[in-house]
Structure 1
Amino acid sequence: MQIAVIADIHGNDLALEAVLTDIEHHGITDIVNLGDHLSSPLNAACTVDILMARNFPSVRGNHDRWLVTLDPADMGRSDRAAFDQLSSHHLEWLRSLPATLIYHDEILLCHGTPESDIDYWLEDLTPKGIVHMADRHLIRERLAGVDFPVVLCAHTHVARMVRLPDGPLIVNPGSVGCQGYYSDEPIPHKVETGSPDASYAILTKINGKWDATFRRVAYDHSAMASLARERGREEWANVLETGWLDPASS
């Protein structure tokens, strides 16, 4: 059994199409989606149309939640840019998504953790805002009684797999459409992957044991960087172009 895991598309329809083509090339028809589908200065409407047509098992991310709960005037720039592209049926689709989902009776899907769509699961921060892998005891704490052989999470855009001793396989597939970001919560920090390529994961079950591999997929990231730049979002343009938030010349 093989399952493709996608997450954090962030309105990048070109990256999504490239990933779906790569998944098809591998002969995988089972796909699950871990949220933050649309928020960006990119192509929210095109992206949601693709997702609604394919109808993958999906959970909502924090940005998906904000798109349907916040007044547009209170939204961040990327959420508002996406919201302005969406129709009522797109928003209804977002509202229909659950916070968590159990797939094939043994895989738990969430965006951040089962308790929160804004908490990191496999990462932690130093007091100076440096992102690093979380201590295994903290990772286990965040399980909060979850008892499934596989847990899928997203939110940090960092592809990572952790296999806890006597515990589940926890997998973050990385981000399809956004390879870095700035955040002020819980303290100011940034995440950068150092590559513009789209990321996803493949779960494989052999002889009752689950494992994961990661795929990096090239696509026309320059086109999406140009679109972000045209729309006045230089930090988005940089990270789409290079995987780094600062300009290549800095």
Structure 2
Amino acid sequence: MRVAVLADVHANLPALDAVLHDVEAHGADRIVLLGDIAGGPLPAETLDRLAALGERAVWVHGNGERELVDAFDGKPGKDRNAADAAVCAALIGQRHRDRLAGLPMTVTLDVDGLGPVLFCHATPRRDDEFVLVDSPIARWRAVLDGVGEGLVVCGHTHMPFDRLAGGRRVVNPGSVGMNYGPAGAYWALLGDGGVQLRRTAYDARAAAARIEAGPHPQAAWWAEQYVTKPYGDADALEAFTELARD
């Protein structure tokens, strides 16, 4: 089995479409959706596109799914993402909410040549925990305590890496829809005994126009911040280093 891993789509439908085209070209059997799928400018359209994948898609929840369901249900948000979740919740329907509710926090799949692989959004123990490519081994050991799989694939920080961490291999595919660093939509392909960190190019200007034509009230701002003029990886890493102390 070959597995494509798509993390942090953030409702950037043009980026997702470009990656799905690439995924088909590489013959992936399963597509793992690693959370933070719909928090962005085109949430309903993105969820509908992914639902059409049927049983090929394996869904994992991130903090974004939890926050979006809570906002849809009218529960008061307590973190910095609450306002964004409320905006996106107003753009989805009951069927979208129901698909996101109750998704697992981790999934394990047997991948050809790699064996059992654990997939999660942030860490196996929390959907909002920050661990980084340069986090100390002691931090990684605490995060992965009790995990039996030799390979863990996580997202959340939007920056790709592949490293050893306390006797296990940890891979982050990067973000499909909200990358930090060089332009493109990032994902990973697992199988045949290896891990490929991939980047799919897409037309940022056309994507921004599609986003701006959508229903999100801050669509133009979102497109500029995350598509046409995205943050650099150094800036993001500096900000996340502070969050990783929590």
What TM-score, normalized by structure 1, do the two folds share? 0.79
1:195 equivalent to 2:192? Answer no
Hey, which bits of structure 1, 4+ residues long, moved more than 6 A?
none
Deviations 1:4-63 (A, max 9, x none): 1111001111111110100111122222111000011x1111100011111311110101
- In structure 1, the partner of 2:53 is 54
Q: Which runs of 5+ in 1 are unaligned?
A: 124-132, 180-192, 246-250
Alignment of 1:68-107 (within 5 A): 68-70=69-71, 71=74, 74=77, 76-104=82-110, 106-107=116-117
- In structure 2, the partner of 1:242 is 229
Whether the 8 Å CA contact 2:9–2:175 is kept in 1: the answer is yes
Q: Distance in 2 between matches of 1:155 and 1:196?
A: 18
Q: Distance in 2 between matches of 1:89 and 1:98?
A: 18
1:172 equivalent to 2:159? Answer no
Whether the 8 Å CA contact 2:70–2:76 is kept in 1: the answer is no
Q: Distance in 1 between matches of 2:83 and 2:94?
A: 20
Q: Which runs of 5+ in 2 are unaligned?
A: 233-246
Whether the 8 Å CA contact 2:154–2:171 is kept in 1: the answer is yes
Q: Distance in 2 between matches of 1:22 and 1:76?
A: 33
1:136 equivalent to 2:119? Answer no
Whether the 8 Å CA contact 1:196–1:239 is kept in 2: the answer is no
Q: Distance in 2 between matches of 1:14 and 1:228?
A: 8
- In structure 1, the partner of 2:33 is 33
Shift of 1:219: 1.5
Higher mean displacement: 140-149 or 7-16: 140-149
The one-letter code of the counterpart of 1:102 is: T
Identity of aligned residues (%): 33
3-state SS in 1 of match to 2:58: coil
Q: Distance in 2 between matches of 1:90 and 1:143?
A: 31
Compare the two structures and name the one with the higher helix fraction: 2
The CA RMSD measured in Å over matched residues stands at: 2.2
Q: Distance in 1 between matches of 2:150 and 2:230?
A: 32
> Which residue of 192, 200, 203 maps to 1:220?
203
1:64 equivalent to 2:65? Answer yes
Higher mean displacement: 217-226 or 16-25: 217-226
Q: Distance in 2 between matches of 1:85 and 1:239?
A: 19
